[in-house]
Amino acid sequence: MHLFPVAFVGLLQGWNAAQDFVVRMEKKSSAVSGFYKLDWKKRVEEVASFSGLTEPQRKLLMEGKPLGFAVADKITENAISVHSLPLSIATNFIVNGKEVLVPMAIEEPSVVAAASNGAKLCRETGGFSASADPPVMIGQIQLVGAKDAAASAKRLLDSKAEILKFAEPFAENIAKYGGGLRGFSARVLSTARGDMVIAEFHVNVCDSMGANTINTILEGVAPKIAEISGGNVRLRILTNLALMRMLRATAIWKKETIGGEAAVEGILDAWAFADADIFRAATHNKGIMNGIDAVVLATGNDWRAVEAGAHAYAAFGGRYTSLTRYRKLPNGDLQGEIELPLAVGTVGGAIRSLQSAQVALSILGVKSAGELSCVMASVGLAQNFAALKALSGEGIQRGHMELHARNVAASAGAVGKDADIIAGQMVKEKNISASRAEELLKQVKEG
């Protein structure tokens, strides 16, 4: 298949390879019809052509072994092997007017399918519009033992200019790239152990996630903070609740495209449930993070930090609630929005060591951490919309089990077309089990 609307496919038959490539580059689209039906090699070829991957990057994808043990042994402690996850592609995404194929590292097929479907259904309204705040992270220094915590905090605030000047040498590395110190504050925190003073630095970390940068600055400036405050330094660490690094994405789904007024009302009711009930909100937000985490993993970022920040933000107003919001527009269409902190990078961390992460970033074609975050937020919204649409309609189990059947067939030892045949038969029989897969595989092999 070619990377543009299916209507054009017939017009291109018979063109030579050079003409075909030119047209694909001029009209490239992430709406790849039947992508899941292509064999492995053709999928890689489609993605490579769309994203302009180098030959070594193509080879890396085809080999299916992106991380050698020698590298793994350097990245982590006590390594004994390499644990792999499938690297999939979510299709149909348009983010801020740009066609995007989205790499997702995840073992659950329904997540990739749902994200692709959610994106497909809003293509006619322009896809997703997203924006990212400047990449400013917050680092905290905990001070205990001050005789008067309020007076201690005031001394720090009064010395703000002096403190920031003292901290500059520790921020030199990031300042070279246009980042660096952006602010300082101090506050009193009442705890079970008594009043503490929390000094906070605001740092623009550019295209990195920022943990190492922040922690270096905090450890360097801590003695000065202790001297001025009269307290004892304890923790010096960034916070993953990156409230100064927020992401927002929005999309509109036409009511006619998603099933009419009844579908719109169903989605609104499903969202209102999550907005009001913590038990539903937990699963609602978990579904959002299914999509976001898969992109975070594919690009070599810290999914644990992203998860922590997202769920903390969901409870920031005093109760745990939905990360998304939906409303019906005057014309009856559905608008969805998502807002959450997203601290990710395109440089630093394990990204340099993980070749597969570099390939994933090349597939995305992003030029900055902010652009990457916009894609992630859009994926989260697409994922959530698709889940709410399914849940408020026929339910998720049918589609989930149809995709799950392929996993069961593969677990029984079926490969290629045999796996598809066996999965299809189990779905038809409504009997998706390992024992039935083994029986069917035996029948297929016997002819």
Q: What count of residues does the chain have?
A: 447
Q: How many domains does one find in the chain?
A: 3
Give the C-alpha separation, 418 to 306, whole Å.
39
Mean pLDDT to the nearest integer, 298-303: 96
Residues 379, 409 share a domain:
no
Most confident of 30-39, 172-181, 415-424: 172-181
Residues 170, 121 share a domain:
no
CATH number (domain holding residue 402): 1.10.8
Quick check: is 270 in a domain?
yes
The answer on pLDDT for 25 being more than 60 is no
Is 261 among the catalytic positions?
A: no
Q: Which of 302, 333, 371, 404 is catalytic?
A: 302
Quick check: is 310 in a domain?
yes
Residues 423, 341 share a domain:
no
Residues 205, 264 share a domain:
no
Kindly indicate the confidence band of residue 236, based on its pLDDT and cuts at 50, 70 and 90: very high
Kindly indicate the confidence band of residue 5, based on its pLDDT and cuts at 50, 70 and 90: very low
Which two tokens mark 295? 């992109």
Per-state percent for the chain, helix, strand, coil, to nearest 5: 55, 20, 30
Q: Is 22 exposed, middle or buried (0-12, 13-18, 19+ CB in 10 A)?
A: exposed
Give the pTM. Answer: 0.84
Residues 384, 257 share a domain:
yes
Domain extent for 423: 398-446
Residues 384, 262 share a domain:
yes
Most confident of 10-24, 290-304, 338-352: 290-304
Contacts with 236 (C-beta within 8 Å, 6 or more apart), sequence order: 139, 140, 141, 142, 215, 218, 219, 222
331: left (phi over 0), alpha (psi -120 to 50) or beta: alpha
Give the C-alpha separation, 46 to 48, whole Å.
6
Report yes or no: 412 and 441 within 8 Å, Cβ to Cβ: yes
Who wins on pLDDT, 211 or 17? 211
Share of the chain above pLDDT 90, in %: 72
Q: According to the model, what pLDDT value does residue 435 have?
A: 84
Domain end point (choices 178, 213, 238): 238
Residues 290, 276 share a domain:
yes
The answer on pLDDT for 9 being more than 60 is no
Q: Which of 20, 45, 108, 219 is catalytic?
A: 108
Quick check: is 55 in a domain?
no
Is 83 among the catalytic positions?
A: no
Query: What is the per-residue pLDDT across 222-234, written as a single tens digit (0 to 9) for each?
Result: 999 999 999 999 9
Q: According to the model, what pLDDT value does residue 12 have?
A: 32
Domain end point (choices 362, 378, 394): 394
The answer on pLDDT for 147 being more than 60 is yes
The answer on pLDDT for 402 being more than 70 is no
Q: Catalogue the long-range contacts made by 439-444 (C-beta closer than 8 Å, 24 or more residues apart).
A: 440/409, 440/412, 440/414, 441/409, 441/412, 441/413, 441/414, 444/414, 444/418
Q: Which of 286, 417, 442, 445 is catalytic?
A: 286
Mean pLDDT to the nearest integer, 410-416: 76
Is 77 among the catalytic positions?
A: no
Is 286 among the catalytic positions?
A: yes
Residues 413, 358 share a domain:
no
Mean pLDDT to the nearest integer, 252-281: 98
Quick check: is 281 in a domain?
yes
Who wins on pLDDT, 425 or 8? 425
Query: What is the per-residue pLDDT across 79-102, written as a single tens digit (0 to 9) for each?
Result: 888 888 999 999 999 999 999 999
Query: What is the per-residue pLDDT across 370-401, written as a single tens digit (0 to 9) for each?
Result: 999 999 999 999 999 999 999 998 755 555 56
Residues 142, 128 share a domain:
no
Q: Which of 98, 224, 254, 400 is catalytic?
A: 400
Q: According to the model, what pLDDT value does residue 195 have?
A: 98
